[in-house]
Structure 1
Amino acid sequence: MNAAAARKDGPDLSVIVPVHNAEDHLPELVGQVFALEDSGLRCQMICLDDASSDDSVAVLRDLAQRHPGLEIIERTENRGAGHARNDAWPHASGRYTIFFDADDTLHGEVLAEAISDMDADPEVDVAVFAYRYEREETASFTDMGYEDQKILEQLLQGGRMTIGSVENMARLLGFTNYPWNKLLRTGHYKRAGMRFGSTKVNNDILGHWHSLLLARSIMVCRAVNCTHIVHPQGNNLTNAFGAERLTMFDALEETYDFLEGRPDLRRRYAHHFWALANRLVRWARPRLDPALHLQFEARYADLLGRLDLGDLTRMRTKHAADLADSLVNHLTR
């Protein structure tokens, strides 16, 4: 089916947004999404309310009166953003889908351009964008993290956009696991069984790996599609370092389950997975409540116990000898 016919039959873009106590942010984001229709794109927006205790649902119902493309799913139990995305995903009917957050800023003109580029190449299943941070308390902007900038520059080589195979784009597995900087070809990922993790912390790791490793081709774009708002209160799950942080290992285990179920992918990309696990552990360990250190180390040891000897040998001889040494040292100490 060509793009013109698809526009007659259904939306071009589905935007899936988990909502939890976001009443102040919803009108602006809904406006940003449906402003895309001015460029000729038909939009579906699915907001799944994850048991908000504020007036988020009332705000959404009011907005839906003005925007017929806005659909609301209500949940009475708070299960986290990963479950919300997974529950909303079957309802997506657009040719493309983006998973977004309620309190961030969407740059719709970038999505419109990417959809045009992806329509021109039906083998491209995901577009990965640059992003920026805004510090809410100062309204100041910062670029992406340094490592993310480095990865994008290595791939783009000064250009606006590049397209390549998963093998050529494997550096992106080390990109920060955000859900909102990727535009997905809906039908392809539904057939492939893409989903997000079941944990409240780091549920986006599995979605990130699915979106890259299940793609036929990947498009990387220099354009910024999202301004991620960093809130000063420090009460989001990213900044949680109590017992909930231990579920980081559940998220990693779930992602490794995916790799173990596809041995060819595991052999080719295991060193990227173990680099991610090592990096997350190094980041979380000094921030964790000291009372949880023993549990934390035990969980990491359990995860390392799944390390395949062949993968370890390939790491040591071909990919990342220092990483292999670090993993072995942790296991044998």
Structure 2
Amino acid sequence: MPPLLSIVLPVHGVERFLPQCLDSLRAEGAAPGEVELIAVDDRSPDNCGALLDAHAAGDPRMRVLHLAENRGLGGARATGLAEATGTYVWFVDSDDWLPEGSIDAVLAELRAESARELPADVLLTDFTHVYPDGGREPNPWRRVLAGSPLVSGCTAAEHPALFNAVLAVWNKVMRRDYLLGLDVRFGDGYYEDISVTYPLLLAADRLLYLDRPCYNYRRGRPGAITATASPKHADAFAQYDAIFAFLERNDRANALRTLVFDRTVKQALTVYDTPGLVPPELRAEFFARITGHFAKHRPAGYRYPSGVRGVQYRLAARGSRRAYAELRRGGKLPAAVKRGTRAVAPGVKKVVRSGARFTAYTTFKRLPIDENLAVYAAYWHRGYACNPAAIYAKARELAPQVRGVWVVETPERAATLPAGVPYVVVNTPAYLRAMATAKYFVNNVNFPYAMTKRTGSVHVQTQHGTPLKAMGMDLVDRPLAADGMDFERLREVVGRWDYLVSPNPHTSRHFARAFPGTYQILDTGYPRNDRLALATPEQCVDARRALGIADGQRTVLYAPTHRESRGGYLPLLDLPALAERLGSGWTVLVRTHYFHDGGAGDLTAGPGAATLLDVSDHPVVEDLYLAADALVTDYSSMMFDYAVLDRPIAVYAPDWEEYQEVRGVYFDLMKEPPGAVTTEQDALVEALLAGDPEPEARRRFRERFCPWDDGRAAERVVSRIFPVRG
């Protein structure tokens, strides 16, 4: 019986990313023979071929094909497809990886589809963008997929808005016979997959969407086509020709010809407009290719879009490159062009609705800076948290004339904000205006690179933890830990900082080297820890009760950090066994790192065991600190914050040698711990049962890392940044 799913993995020059990708292809719930992996070594110049062979030796699902000559991404995919035997095929890029449980989730959908009279031709999955600095962005186009007819199954004509979403191949699992019957091929060079994905979507009898992030797409890595200047960006036009050739021979697809044409023009202009993609000496030729695309493929009776986008299309169609540049630069046209293009001004007013966010942002930047507007964000727009939240609250008290507004990634995130906190949603007009005109910017990560710094604005970087592990430029010689970081871009971003908030002298010393720049370090302590320094017994009781912890329970917070070498969440503790040893008088709060999706997994414990409670999604980590009688961690910066409470901390570090080798560390945690140090689970249990076995170690740790935690850090930061009213 053939496998249900074939995963085709083209591989070339991705040695640093390949182990994480291969490790992510596990499928715990798959039946024997249900999944096959076909890896294509596209004559990789590095050690990828050997890595593939070594992995295949321990994974019977996997076959490795070594090509005698490099065929490019499209050719490698085609080679893998020719060898695939599965009912469905999934093309996974080898520099990306799958979140834990993704293959199992996809298999569950495919099993259900296989039993249908009309099984899905294509299963689209949700995905996550992952950036070199560790930042994550949910699928920006999820709103056009979730809650649409795609959830139960439909055709492209029944939900054409799906063409506003990403049209790459990697988040689409396709029925193999259907794909082969289309008689399409991956193109050569850049954008090679769109000559397949357009036909896939256009001709399908049934498209289905799985509203679960099943793919981590690596954005902004060095060498990626979206960040590389190259003449090969013009390869897109050959792929467009192949798409329109398919339309000519497929009536169902041809019915959406206008939609396809609009989408290809939009992509071509986006490539042209994005700085650093089309080499300067080739820009005139590229624009001429767009004009030629209009002449060759414009549908009969075509009507231009409304607003600025329609004006841009007209200029591209007639080859008016100079006028197009004027419009992009200032949101207006030269007078000579205006006389021949009516209704341009209303079009500029509709710039955001027409989708030209770059033009809108540029236009807003021509407005004066709002001296009393501050923009706040935390953890890549996830919500109200960390140091920015503490600074915001104190600024409302000490500098009430400065209006604060929070950036959130979705309206759903906005619902998690405290009552009365103003917000803007990413990429809305209100967001673009705030980002263009605010005087102050406060974040614990970096704001988007495209949002440039205006002269006179003030950027406050708070970071979000005391570093044990190496950071920033200290990772230059650690490729696995750097995970594709763009160090030149990091330097540029750090150049925007005016202030860096530091929690202790250790951090000030190391961050000054890891993030070289001209900013001022604020030796103030962390504002988010003021709550811990000032906590009352009553507040601790309230925190416990809010979490449902019964009175009298001894409560432990277990919080492991992220490990670059291990991919997703992988608990090193046997939590059910820990619960059994501790007994019913204990509660263990389990919090995974925010990089990991899906929570802590199965926390079922037997009768008489401690209660295991997954608190990974609890929005305020300080609540967990106040509720816990002790902390168990490994290398997380949470130990430095929790030490403010002067409560027992136990370090469980069975992989210390591996961690310091891969990541690099700023001090030897084994010699300078905050409390008990263990490498075996039994020893950890003994330390917890002992109550407070290492108070002297904690005292020394607090002296070194908590000298400024007096409950007034936020006040000191606000007084340095904002005009405080006396």
TM-score (norm 2): 0.40
Q: 1:247 to 1:85 in 2, by over 3 A?
A: same
The DSSP-based 3-state class of the residue aligned with 2:300 is: helix
Specify the alignment match of 1:272 in structure 2.
Answer: 259
1:139: Cα distance to partner? 2.1
Specify the alignment match of 1:187 in structure 2.
Answer: 177
Aligned match for 1:221, one of 210, 225, 229? 210
Q: Of Structure 1 and Structure 2, which has the larger fraction of its residues in helix?
A: 1
Question: In structure 2, what is the Cα distance between the partners aligned to 1:223 and 1:262?
Answer: 32
1:46: Cα distance to partner? 0.8
1:112: Cα distance to partner? 2.1
1:150 aligns with 2:163: no
The DSSP-based 3-state class of the residue aligned with 1:282 is: helix
1:326: Cα distance to partner? 4.9
1:327: Cα distance to partner? 3.9
1:324: Cα distance to partner? 6.6
Contact 1:304 1:327 in 2 (8 A): no
Q: 1:189 to 1:311 in 2, by over 3 A?
A: farther
Q: Which amino acid aligns with 1:115?
A: L
Instruction: Report how many aligned residue pairs link the two structures.
Output: 310
Specify the alignment match of 1:306 in structure 2.
Answer: 296
Question: In structure 2, what is the Cα distance between the partners aligned to 1:238 and 1:261?
Answer: 31
Question: In structure 2, what is the Cα distance between the partners aligned to 1:311 and 1:95?
Answer: 41
1:188: Cα distance to partner? 2.3
Contact 1:195 1:210 in 2 (8 A): no
Q: 1:229-248 CA distances to partner (integer Å, 9 max, x unpaired)?
A: 22543x22222232111112
1:132 aligns with 2:128: yes
Q: Which amino acid aligns with 2:295?
A: G
1:330 aligns with 2:322: no
The DSSP-based 3-state class of the residue aligned with 1:251 is: helix
Q: Which amino acid aligns with 2:91?
A: F
1:23 aligns with 2:15: yes
1:308: Cα distance to partner? 4.6
Q: 1:191-235 CA distances to partner (integer Å, 9 max, x unpaired)?
A: 333432x232111111211221231111112111101122543x2
Q: 1:46-67 CA distances to partner (integer Å, 9 max, x unpaired)?
A: 1111121111111111111111
Specify the alignment match of 2:269 in structure 1.
Answer: 282
Gaps of 5+ in 2: 321-726
The DSSP-based 3-state class of the residue aligned with 1:228 is: strand
1:321: Cα distance to partner? 5.5
Specify the alignment match of 1:241 in structure 2.
Answer: 229
Q: Which amino acid aligns with 2:258?
A: H
Question: In structure 2, what is the Cα distance between the partners aligned to 1:324 and 1:269?
Answer: 19
The DSSP-based 3-state class of the residue aligned with 2:8 is: strand
1:210 aligns with 2:206: no
Q: Which amino acid aligns with 2:30?
A: S
Structure with more contact order per residue of length (Cα contacts < 8 Å, sep ≥ 6): 1
1:310: Cα distance to partner? 2.2
Instruction: Choose 1 or 2 for highest CA Rg.
Output: 2
Q: 1:188 to 1:264 in 2, by over 3 A?
A: closer
Q: 1:144 to 1:30 in 2, by over 3 A?
A: same
Specify the alignment match of 1:252 in structure 2.
Answer: 240
Question: In structure 1, what is the Cα distance between the partners aligned to 2:69 and 2:226?
Answer: 21
Q: Which amino acid aligns with 1:155?
A: S
The DSSP-based 3-state class of the residue aligned with 1:105 is: coil
Aligned match for 1:163, one of 142, 148, 153? 153
Contact 2:203 2:250 in 1 (8 A): no
Specify the alignment match of 1:3 in structure 2.
Answer: none
Q: 1:194 to 1:117 in 2, by over 3 A?
A: farther
1:70: Cα distance to partner? 1.0
1:199 aligns with 2:192: no
1:83: Cα distance to partner? 1.5
Question: In structure 2, what is the Cα distance between the partners aligned to 1:202 and 1:149?
Answer: 22
Q: 1:231 to 1:122 in 2, by over 3 A?
A: farther
Q: Which amino acid aligns with 1:273?
A: V
The DSSP-based 3-state class of the residue aligned with 2:297 is: coil
- Further displaced range: 280-289 or 99-108: 280-289
1:143: Cα distance to partner? 0.8
Specify the alignment match of 1:39 in structure 2.
Answer: 30
1:90 aligns with 2:90: no
Question: In structure 2, what is the Cα distance between the partners aligned to 1:206 and 1:154?
Answer: 27
Q: Which amino acid aligns with 2:256?
A: Y
- Further displaced range: 20-29 or 278-287: 20-29
Question: In structure 2, what is the Cα distance between the partners aligned to 1:52 and 1:296?
Answer: 30
Contact 1:15 1:46 in 2 (8 A): yes
Q: 1:264 to 1:89 in 2, by over 3 A?
A: same
The DSSP-based 3-state class of the residue aligned with 2:259 is: helix
- Aligned-pair identity (%): 19
- Further displaced range: 13-22 or 285-294: 285-294
TM-score (norm 1): 0.84
Q: Which amino acid aligns with 1:102?
A: S
Specify the alignment match of 1:52 in structure 2.
Answer: 44
- Further displaced range: 35-44 or 66-75: 35-44
Q: 1:195 to 1:276 in 2, by over 3 A?
A: same
Question: In structure 2, what is the Cα distance between the partners aligned to 1:177 and 1:166?
Answer: 13
1:19: Cα distance to partner? 0.2
- Further displaced range: 94-103 or 222-231: 222-231
1:122: Cα distance to partner? 4.3
Q: 1:257 to 1:142 in 2, by over 3 A?
A: same
Aligned match for 1:103, one of 80, 95, 101? 95
1:151: Cα distance to partner? 1.5
Q: Which amino acid aligns with 1:209?
A: Y
Contact 1:169 1:218 in 2 (8 A): no
1:17: Cα distance to partner? 0.9
Question: In structure 1, what is the Cα distance between the partners aligned to 2:306 and 2:147?
Answer: 22
Question: In structure 2, what is the Cα distance between the partners aligned to 1:206 and 1:311?
Answer: 25
1:37: Cα distance to partner? 5.2
Q: Which amino acid aligns with 1:271?
A: T
1:121 aligns with 2:107: no
Question: In structure 2, what is the Cα distance between the partners aligned to 1:164 and 1:263?
Answer: 17
The DSSP-based 3-state class of the residue aligned with 1:209 is: helix
Question: In structure 1, what is the Cα distance between the partners aligned to 2:314 and 2:263?
Answer: 16
Question: In structure 2, what is the Cα distance between the partners aligned to 1:297 and 1:156?
Answer: 37
